[in-house]
Amino acid sequence: MKLPEIKGFMDFSLVDWDGKASAVIFLPFCNFQCPFCYNTTLVLRPETMQRIPYNEIARYLSKNRSWLDGVAITGGEPTIHKELPNLCKRIKKLDLSVKLDTNGSNSAMMKKLIAQEFVDYVALDVKAPLTLERYSAVIGINAENLLPEIEETIRMLLQGSVDYEFRTTLVPTLHRKEDIEEICHKIIGCKKYFLQNFKGDVETLDPKYMNFKPFSSTCIQEFLKDARRLVPTAFLR
């Protein structure tokens, strides 16, 4: 059973899956080029990172599964790897839950993972209002063929049975106040929506974002207030 190349592994995290003790697997490459992305090496130069054999990870997971709740699979963008279902299946066989971080651009992969019960929790980044102009500006490439996929993944999660959250990282110069309302109109009724402030001071895909300051806490509180008018399950993370 062919598995995707694994380029990073964290043996323990309390922050990658709310309320759960998880291990984290990092898969390389991404089909977006978000200028504010922090995972520069994983996205742009994964060949410079060492490959981690899954067998080593499996040994660790088997040994520690009595206290680990699950494994978060992140990237890069995990759904661009056609072998992703095999990886999820192997983890589920160890009796561990699987969380998937995704940009939502592969609805067919998501459908397959959900249908086969290979995923227990999905965190989907809704990067911007779902219009060609706004999404393309935030993800750094033309979003024309991606938007229908993202909309379909959002719909699938809203109407489906798998647990999920939507989230948006708010980036100065890229996001504006009115974006929150536009995004929220598309996710009304969702289980959870998290707003995250851009961190700053870390290496970013476009180096100029490294020097950007995050939004002020007053600004972020305003965004949250706007979000809660339409989505009462909105929170700050």
Binding flags for ligand SF4, 50-69, as an x/- string (CB under 6 A):
--------------------
**Per CB under 6 A, does 75 bind ligand SF4?**
yes
Give the separation between CA 220 and CA 199, rounded to whole angstroms.
13
Stretch of 15-23, 36-44, 108-116, 152-160 lying at the interface with ligand SF4 (CB under 6 A): 36-44
**Per CB under 6 A, does 113 bind ligand SF4?**
no
Q: Which of 6, 23, 27, 34 binds ligand SF4 (CB under 6 A)?
A: 34
**Per CB under 6 A, does 33 bind ligand SF4?**
yes
The least CB distance from residue 138 to ligand SF4, in Å, is 9
Give the separation between CA 144 and CA 84, rounded to whole angstroms.
25
216: Cα separation from own chain's centroid: 24
- The answer to whether the beta carbons of residues 230 and 178 sit under 8 Å apart is no
∠ Cα 171 175 177 (to 5°): 125
Q: Which tokens sit at 186?
A: 């598309």
**Per CB under 6 A, does 118 bind ligand SF4?**
no
Stretch of 11-19, 27-35, 150-158, 218-226 lying at the interface with ligand SF4 (CB under 6 A): 27-35
